[in-house]
Chain A
Amino acid sequence: MKKKALSLLLASAMVVSLTACGGGNSSSESSNTTDSNASTSTTDASTSTDANASTDANASSGDAAAETSDIEKPEEITIMVDGTVFTEENGRDQFIAKLEELTGIKINVIQPDHDAYYDVVGQQIAGGDWPDVLILASTQMAGYGSEGVLWDMASAWENSDLKKRQEAYNGDGVVSSMYIDGKLYGMPATHGNGCVTYVKQAWLDEAGITTLPTNYDEYYDMLLKLKEAKGVDYVVAAAGFLGAEAPFVNYLPEFYQDAWPSFYQKDDGTWADGFEEQSMKDAMQRLADAVKDGLLDPETNTYGTADVRNKFYDDSLGVFTYWAGTWASNLKNNLENNGLDSELVALSPIAEAVPPLASGPAYIDRVSPAWCITTQCENPEGVFKYFIEAMQDGADTQFLWTYGVEGTHWSTAAETLYAGTEQEVTYADGEFHMLDNLETPGSQYTKAHIDPMLALTELADDPRETTVKPEALAAQQLFNENSVGAFVVPATDELNQYNGDLMTEKSSLVTKVATGQMTVDQAYEEYTSQGYADMSKQVVDSLNALQ
Chain B
Amino acid sequence: MSGKKQAKPSANKTWAKMYKYRGFYLMFLPVFVFAVIFFYAPMLGVRYAFTNYNGIRKPDIIWFENFQRMFSMKNFWSAFVNTIQISIVKLLLTTFAAVVIAILLNEIGNLLFKKVVQTIIYLPHFMSWVVTASVFSLILSPSSSGLVNSFLLNIGVIKSSNEMIYFLGDSRWWRPAYYIINIWKETGWQTVIFMATLAGINTDLYEAASIDGAGRWGKMWYITFPQLKNTILTVIILNLAKVMNLFESAFVLQNDATLDVSNVLETYIYYQTFNSGAIPNYGYTTAVGLFKSLVGCVLVLVCNHWSKKVREGRGIV
Interface residues of A (CB under 8 A from B): 1-2, 5-6, 13-14, 17-18, 21-22, 25, 29, 49-51, 118-119, 122, 125-126, 139-140, 143-144, 147-149, 233-234, 240-242, 244-245, 292-294, 297-299, 301-302, 491, 495-497, 499-501, 503-505, 507-508, 510-512, 515, 517, 530-531
CB pair B278–A491 under 8 Å, yes or no, is yes
Provide the residues of chain B in CB contact with A496, threshold 8 Å: 54, 276, 278-279, 281
In this assembly, does B106 line the interface, its C-beta being within 8 Å of a C-beta of chain A?
A: no
CB pair B279–A144 under 8 Å, yes or no, is yes
Chain A interface main SS type: helix
CB pair B256–A508 under 8 Å, yes or no, is yes
CB pair B257–A508 under 8 Å, yes or no, is yes
Provide the residues of chain A in CB contact with B75, threshold 8 Å: 501, 504-505
CB pair A511–B37 under 8 Å, yes or no, is no
Of the residues A241, A292, A297, contact of B256 by C-beta under 8 Å: A241
Of the residues B54, B56, B256, contact of A507 by C-beta under 8 Å: B256
Return the 7 tightest CB-CB contacts between A and B, nearest first.
Answer: A500-B276, A126-B55, A21-B41, A511-B256, A511-B257, A496-B278, A143-B279
- Flag B75-102 by CB within 8 Å of A: 1 or 0 each: 1000000000000000000000000000
In this assembly, does B20 line the interface, its C-beta being within 8 Å of a C-beta of chain A?
A: no
CB<8 Å pairs between A and B, sample of 22: A2-B13, A17-B33, A51-B57, A119-B274, A126-B54, A144-B279, A147-B54, A298-B142, A298-B169, A299-B142, A299-B143, A299-B166, A301-B256, A496-B281, A499-B276, A499-B278, A500-B276, A501-B73, A501-B75, A507-B256, A511-B257, A517-B171
CB pair A139–B255 under 8 Å, yes or no, is no
Of the residues A14, A51, A119, contact of B40 by C-beta under 8 Å: A14
CB pair B171–A512 under 8 Å, yes or no, is yes
A63 CB → nearest B CB, Å: 24
Of the residues B40, B73, B260, B279, contact of A18 by C-beta under 8 Å: B40
Chain B interface main SS type: helix
Known: A139-B277, A508-B256. A302 touches B137 (CB 8 A): yes
> Contacts A508-B256, A510-B256, A515-B169 given; 19 further ones with Cβ under 8 A?
A6-B14, A18-B36, A49-B58, A51-B57, A126-B54, A143-B278, A147-B57, A244-B275, A293-B162, A299-B142, A299-B166, A301-B255, A491-B278, A496-B54, A501-B272, A511-B256, A515-B166, A517-B170, A531-B74
CB pair A500–B256 under 8 Å, yes or no, is no
CB pair A122–B279 under 8 Å, yes or no, is yes
Provide the residues of chain A in CB contact with B41, threshold 8 Å: 17-18, 21
Alpha-carbon distance between A122 and B282 when the two chains are bound, in angstroms: 11
CB pair A149–B56 under 8 Å, yes or no, is yes
Alpha-carbon distance between A118 and B280 when the two chains are bound, in angstroms: 11
Provide the residues of chain A in CB contact with B142, threshold 8 Å: 298-299
Alpha-carbon distance between A149 and B14 when the two chains are bound, in angstroms: 56
Provide the residues of chain A in CB contact with B168, threshold 8 Å: 302
Of the residues A5, A21, A49, A501, contact of B14 by C-beta under 8 Å: A5
CB pair B255–A302 under 8 Å, yes or no, is yes
In this assembly, does B230 line the interface, its C-beta being within 8 Å of a C-beta of chain A?
A: no
CB-nearest residue of chain A relative to B279? A143
CB-nearest residue of chain A relative to B32? A13
Alpha-carbon distance between A317 and B117 when the two chains are bound, in angstroms: 41
Alpha-carbon distance between A517 and B174 when the two chains are bound, in angstroms: 12
